[in-house]
A and B are shown apart, each in its own frame.
Chain A
Amino acid sequence: MNTELLSWGQIIARILQQFLPVWIALIITFTVSIRYKRKLGLYGKLFDSPVGMVGFLLVMFWVFTAIFADFIITLDPIAQFGRVKNPLPGTPLVDPKDGQYAYFLLGGDHLARDVFSRVVMGARRVLTIAPAATTFAFIMGATLGLPAGYFGGKLDTVLSFLANLVLAFPVILLFYLLVTPEIRNTGIPVVLAAVLFIFPVIFFCTLFNSRFFTNPPKRNLYVGITLVIGLWAYFGLAFNLDPLGVWSMDPNLLNVFVSVVFVNSPTVFRIVRGIVMDLKARDYVAAGQTRGESAWYIMLWEILPNARGPLIVDFCLRIGYTTILLGTLGFFGLGVSPESPDWGSTIDDGRKLLSLYLHPAITPALALMSLVLGLNLLADGLREESLKD
């Protein structure tokens, strides 16, 4: 039996090798993008900003890691290997089965699970939940922020009050109240989900209707497709009622997801509202009004596309923020599930023995930090480039 620890050089070499698919994908992405950067609009301009490029590199590294996670992991992230707690990085497995990877590359945690594989798999979790939750928060924030900014008056007062209400809630407290197993039994998350998830359906129906109402057949087609797909997904996700079983969400995940969307959307609401108040004084809005366009057409087709710059930047920042939030949840043991390899829970698990064993906590901590850093740099690059001519 092999008992020799791998040296750090060997560990790094092996890790680099595991990430091979990611390197290939990154090289392809960057070569193509830089070659055609002048034709790619704002995305292309990103490659003129070193800050933006570094950010994009970090983000894409994790995106590709999430995509190729199955090829990258060395061991089953949930399984326990042997009885030795907290094996150090480079420790060989006690008695590896045939074809099994023989080392804990970055050590193991207190249950002797492989840290490296958990972090890689954690990337997949984070990168599915965070962008999805942020997207929902954006749609909800936009659907409410547009009319609040555009019409102003009573509607704005009421919506702004509600938004401030949510914002005044200390996030941690809210999570402690919402993300408990007991709450799940009361059905509150499902009710919230029912409210939150209907917004995308409304959003897209209005979007198509306001544009194509002059051409009923086309309108009916677009709205019809939206309704079918939207409601199908809606019933699947919110009520777990999808007859085909394509759309469904684990109740605990649903709970976390809904809470995260709920906490994020008021901020988006405020941003959208602010931009709309600024843009609605433009002449092209007035031109739309003098043509007799409906208010929703003007909001969705005349104003929203022109607000995309700041919104894209905020979107990147917000994914980062959501990632931190998910980590916070994990840190307080409110994560998706105790078994889940998500980064926050892993940090939480590791911190208890921090002064003795660093590796179980520090690896996910660095992973999370680099992803959020990447998103921030990306946002910064985008902001800077979109301001230039």
Chain B
Amino acid sequence: MTDTTWDPTKPILEIENLSISFFTRLREIPAVMDFSCSVMAGESMGLVGESGCGKSTVALAVMRDLGKNGRIVDGTIKFKGRDLTHMGEEELRHIRGSEIAMIYQEPMASLNPAMKIGAQLAEVPMIHQGMGRDEAWNLARQIVADVRLPDPDRILQAYPHQLSGGQQQRIVIAMALMSKPALLILDEPTTALDVTVEAGIVDLVKDLGHKYGTSMLFISHNLGLILDVCDRLCVMYSGEAVETGDVIEVFDKMRHPYTQALFRSIPLPGADKNSHPLVAIPGNFPLPHERPKGCNFGPRCDYFQDGRCNAAEVPMFPVPGDDRHATRCIKWTEIDWDAPMTLKASKPKTPIGKVVLKMEDLRKYYSVSSGAFGGGSAKVVKANETLSFEAREGETLAIVGESGCGKSTFAKVLMGLETATSGSILLFDENVQSTPIQQRNTNTVSSVQMVFQNPFDTLNPSMNVGRQIIRALEIFKQGKSDAERYARMLELLDLVKLPRAFADRMPRQLSGGQKQRVGIARAFAGGAKVVVADEPVSALDVSVQAAVTDLLMDIQRENKTTLLFISHDLSIVRYLSDRVMVMYLGHVVEMGTTDQVFQPPYHPYTEALLSAVPIADTKVIRKRIVLEGDIPSAMNPPPGCPFQTRCRWKSQVPGGLCDIEMPPVQVLAGGHQLKCHLSAEVLAAMEPVIQIAAE
């Protein structure tokens, strides 16, 4: 289906004034309004924006797959000069999969569980090129090898569930490449994956894009990732494109207040919770049907000017001098873009007090049985191995590691939801390791509390906000009467900076960030001394993340709380923690102060982790270390060093010690601990992964 009329110097994809609405029973939801952008041949275009701003909707509109209630109400989408919006089903079918391919966020869900990988791949050329079965399977084999999967023949015969998440995502990419499409749409292709796996996929996508000359529309909420992958970028806010242009130009010379605010709210290297805190964007994202008049960003904009910004729809203004750079801000010429941001008063550092929590040689093993019929041999999963550390009053201790490394198990043991297999936990000098929560006294229980990861899950959907906080007060024996508790609940809402009127709201009427605040208020109801925060902001949008992190820090300062901050996001860890503990497969592989951990010498795993995190700063030079393979399953960890299957330093250890022997803990200067066989000289010779280029 090659179209001869198309001129390759014209954009391959041209979206003009696209408006899309979803029609629900109550109202029309205008998800995308007046959106324009174009992608040239071989170019990769990034689409960034917060959750719900309409990124996926644009992508699906290009595929013309908006579902039953979605409709393109205005505008055109031209692919190679042909208008997709008025194309018939049959014609679309020939374009889908052959000229435009799409990759989604969840690899597992995108593959048919009941079909072999090979069949799913081979299907594409069989449909579009009328290729024979054997030929198609050969092609599939070749592409599978292209996406750097080991043992392609085995993989072609496998079912999706037999592959790991990273492998599945590679298959999805392979599937998209089967018919060498001209345009590839990737909707958050790595969000569900671990950072080290993500780094591999991102590299792959970039290379393949160059190799096949494919244009890409890359959707992400992660600015760092966009910088890594894309040539151009389009920032979306509430259904509109607000700024578009070359990636480097937009990053360095942003011309829209929203883009600027976005960059100020993400923790780049150099941000610091005390001297250089993040600036959250005030207010909330408007719902599609509640957009303000005029500029959508108006209510949250620092430069808002009444009578101008809210007078009429704001058009896109081209920024002269730059390459197709445009912004949707009336005042863009008037704003002083280079003015340093007005720093919030820098806050004093919290003094670190006495030890409140001490763990020694903690182990937690689970025994699980495998197999569909409940038979099979029972296996022991070592979720936590010889965990030792202490945490002090007013301190933030970060626990970092990828999924399955045992972070959450550790939290459960500490909370008393599970009891440790061996070892001791001393909480305020009281031994609690074998005391399940039911047997702990109210004091102990209320002083160790937890903030959960998923804001949509953390509150009981059928109980109003006030009741949930009051319940915590009742359980913690706070207040003497119902009235007293009610008053205390209102104070707690003040503490987390929520309006008092929220007490009567149901959780579904709150945004993600607001729910997370309620969760924090609930955790502090009994005056918690130790708070375990399990990825408290990872499910939130960047603009809200900053505000919630700030809140946690403020409360910590006031109450001298010890914060155990569990996260996989190294940027935020660097920003707020005092000490860091890095875990891999249940082992603590490195522990030290934030500076010690983020500077060489590194543990080889920490090094890889640091290099995998995309950073949205053009000045940062990052060494790329791509780890091979996936994280081994905790069910059968490798012998010797847990990291040995993916370690690039292994050859530096003489005698193949890494394969046989569990490395000892080395204590370096300043109490910096490393669990590695590498000798002191090798460690000392390590180079930093991240450098900030001199300006």
A–B: direct contact at CB < 8 Å? yes
* Chain A residues in the interface with B (C-beta under 8 A): 48, 214-215, 282-284, 286-287, 289-294, 301-302, 305-306, 308, 388-389
User: Is B442's beta carbon under 8 Å from chain A?
Assistant: yes
List chain A residues, Cβ under 8 A from B448. Answer: 290
Q: A283-B452, A292-B442 are in contact. Are A215 and B474 (CB under 8 A)?
A: yes
Chain A nearest Cβ from B662, distance in angstroms = 32
Give 10 A-B contacts (CB < 8 Å), ordered by A residue: A287-B522, A289-B417, A289-B437, A290-B416, A290-B437, A291-B471, A291-B472, A291-B476, A306-B460, A308-B462
- CB closest chain-A residue, reference B453: A283
List chain B residues, Cβ under 8 A from A308. Answer: 462
Q: A214-B475, A286-B450 are in contact. Are A291 and B445 (CB under 8 A)?
A: yes
Chain A nearest Cβ from B1, distance in angstroms = 39
Chain B nearest Cβ from A3, distance in angstroms = 58
The 10 closest A-B pairs by CB, nearest first: A283-B457, A283-B452, A305-B462, A292-B445, A214-B474, A284-B460, A283-B458, A290-B450, A290-B415, A291-B475
> Which residues from 517 to 567 on chain B have a C-beta closer than 8 Å to any C-beta of chain A?
519, 522
Chain A nearest Cβ from B430, distance in angstroms = 15
User: Is B425's beta carbon under 8 Å from chain A?
Assistant: no
- CB closest chain-A residue, reference B475: A291
Point out the residue from B25, B417, B457, B463 that lies within 8 Å of A290, measured CB to CB: B417
List chain B residues, Cβ under 8 A from A305. Answer: 460, 462-463
- CB closest chain-A residue, reference B24: A389
Contact A284 B459 (CB under 8 A): yes
Contact A302 B460 (CB under 8 A): yes
List chain B residues, Cβ under 8 A from A48. Answer: 25
A sample of 4 more A-B contacts (CB under 8 A), given A283-B453, A284-B461, is A284-B458, A287-B522, A290-B449, A308-B462
- Chain A proximity mask over B18-61: 1 for CB below 8 Å, otherwise 0: 00000011000000000000000000000000000000000000
A362 to B450: give the CA distance in the assembly, Å. Answer: 64
Contact B458 A287 (CB under 8 A): yes
User: Is B347's beta carbon under 8 Å from chain A?
Assistant: no
A286 to B415: give the CA distance in the assembly, Å. Answer: 10
List chain A residues, Cβ under 8 A from B461. Answer: 284, 306
A302 to B452: give the CA distance in the assembly, Å. Answer: 16
A283 to B453: give the CA distance in the assembly, Å. Answer: 8
* Chain B residues in the interface with A (C-beta under 8 A): 24-25, 415-417, 437-438, 440, 442, 445-446, 448-450, 452-454, 457-463, 471-472, 474-477, 519, 522
List chain A residues, Cβ under 8 A from B449. Answer: 290-291
Point out the residue from B454, B459, B475 that lies within 8 Å of A293, measured CB to CB: B475
A24 to B450: give the CA distance in the assembly, Å. Answer: 56
Chain B nearest Cβ from A44, distance in angstroms = 12
List chain B residues, Cβ under 8 A from A291. Answer: 445-446, 449, 471-472, 475-476
Contact B460 A214 (CB under 8 A): no
A217 to B404: give the CA distance in the assembly, Å. Answer: 47
A191 to B440: give the CA distance in the assembly, Å. Answer: 41
Contact A283 B454 (CB under 8 A): yes
Contact A287 B452 (CB under 8 A): yes
List chain A residues, Cβ under 8 A from B446. Answer: 291
List chain A residues, Cβ under 8 A from B454. Answer: 283
A287 to B528: give the CA distance in the assembly, Å. Answer: 14
A388 to B25: give the CA distance in the assembly, Å. Answer: 10
List chain B residues, Cβ under 8 A from A282. Answer: 457
- CB closest chain-A residue, reference B477: A214
A162 to B458: give the CA distance in the assembly, Å. Answer: 35
Contact A292 B437 (CB under 8 A): yes
A282 to B474: give the CA distance in the assembly, Å. Answer: 22
A289 to B440: give the CA distance in the assembly, Å. Answer: 12
Chain A nearest Cβ from B366, distance in angstroms = 14
A48 to B24: give the CA distance in the assembly, Å. Answer: 12
List chain B residues, Cβ under 8 A from A289. Answer: 415, 417, 437
List chain B residues, Cβ under 8 A from A292. Answer: 437-438, 440, 442, 445, 475
A293 to B458: give the CA distance in the assembly, Å. Answer: 15
Contact B462 A306 (CB under 8 A): yes
A159 to B690: give the CA distance in the assembly, Å. Answer: 58
A214 to B477: give the CA distance in the assembly, Å. Answer: 8
A290 to B526: give the CA distance in the assembly, Å. Answer: 12
